[in-house]
Amino acid sequence: MTISIDTLPDWITAALAHDHQDGNVEVDNTSISYRCWGDPEQRGLMLIHGGGAHLHWWDFVAPQLAEHYYVVALDLGGMGDSGRRSEYTAETYIAEILAVADATGLDNQAVLAGHSMGGAISLRVAVAHPGRFSHLIMLDSPLRPKAEAQEESGKSRSPFQNKRFYPDFETAVARFRLLPAQPDTAPWILKYIAENSLTETAEGWCWKFDDNAFKTRMFGQGSELVDQLTMPVAIVYGQLSKFFDPETLTYMHENLPKSTPFIAVPEAHHHLFLDQPLAFITALRTLLMTWAAG
């Protein structure tokens, strides 16, 4: 479906027209792409996308935060426009985040926020380098008991494998789906993300991510790291997210510090900043101006 610019809400049109700077940094012989919005003199906010995603997922969100924050997002290795590796590990992802933070001038008062798999990676950054960022925000990125985490890590192949090829750009865009599937996401948002998720190869059009990045489940669910976490953490999740069932929420409330903010974005699913972007932006602004400011 073709989306006319006239059908876009004004706030999305303004967001996509917002000034930004793009760059690359080499990390272990792999080029890592990043984008920055806002004034580098402002406090930093670094956004980490989820599995199979890329920095353009934040193109609607980051400009709404750039008035008061210097916002940085990157393409993790093997995703988006970043280079590919022969092997992907938690350590290489951590190194990429730190390298982009250094290259863009983020100091140790910057806030680190990660969605889904990006939240699991961000948690590992916070544990391994507790002084590099000031606060951690996990966006619909659950923590579960260790036994459940081990079971999850041992499950069958990731849904991001077996990448398909399409004969033309339009066919590929029309085939774009969120994983896990969810309703209520505006068609212009899905179309924009799809258009920025594709690359042309000799075999046809395909998604940019490297299938090999998902051959192993390297992160578990992070529950084994909770006791090592010294950085303040906040949990922002979709009220309707399939990953935040009552049992998971109870476990997280019992195992994270009592002062941990838990914010449910109303009517939002797992991809909470896509289906409820304005509510998500409001929640994040409030969290940054109150909890993170303290």
111-157: per-residue pLDDT in tens?
999 999 999 999 999 999 999 999 999 999 999 886 565 455 444 44
pLDDT at 2: 46
Whole-number average pLDDT of the chain? 91
Q: How confident is the model at residue 227 (pLDDT cuts 50, 70, 90)?
A: confident
> Is residue 61 exposed (0-12), middle (13-18) or buried (19+ Cβ within 10 Å)?
buried
Mean pLDDT of 159-186: 87
Alpha-carbon torsion, ordered 214, 120, 90, 63, to 10 deg: 90
Contacts of 179 (CB under 8 A, 6+ apart): 52, 159, 160
Answer for the pair 49, 81: CB distance below 8 angstroms, yes or no: no
Q: What is the mean pLDDT of residues 76-98?
A: 96
One-letter amino acid identity for 156? Answer: S
Q: Report how far apart, in Å, the C-alpha atoms of 134 and of each of 43, 141, 146, 170, 215 are.
A: 11, 19, 27, 43, 32
| DSSP string computed for 97-142 | HHHHHHHTT--TT-EEEEETHHHHHHHHHHHHSTTT-SEEEEES--
Over residues 227-244, the mean pLDDT reads: 96
Q: Phi, psi at residue 74, to the nearest 5°?
A: -135, 165
Class of domain 10-155+213-289: alpha beta
pTM: 0.93
Q: Considering just the CA atoms, what is the radius of gyration of the chain in Å? A: 18
C-alpha closest to that of 175 among 203, 201, 197:
197
**Three-state SS annotation for 164-178:** CCECCHHHHHHCCCC
- CA-based angle 147:152:154, to the nearest 5? 100
Say if strands 262-265 and 135-139 run parallel, antiparallel, or are unpaired: unpaired
Mean pLDDT of 258-281: 97
The SS3 of residue 234 is strand
pLDDT per residue over 43-65, tens digit each? 999 999 999 999 999 999 999 99
The percent of residues in the chain predicted with pLDDT above 90, rounded, is 80
Give the residue extent of every domain in the chain: 10-155+213-289
- Cβ neighbours around 229 below 10 Å, total: 16
Distance of CA 24 to the CA centre of its chain: 18
Separation CA 127–CA 122 (nearest Å): 9
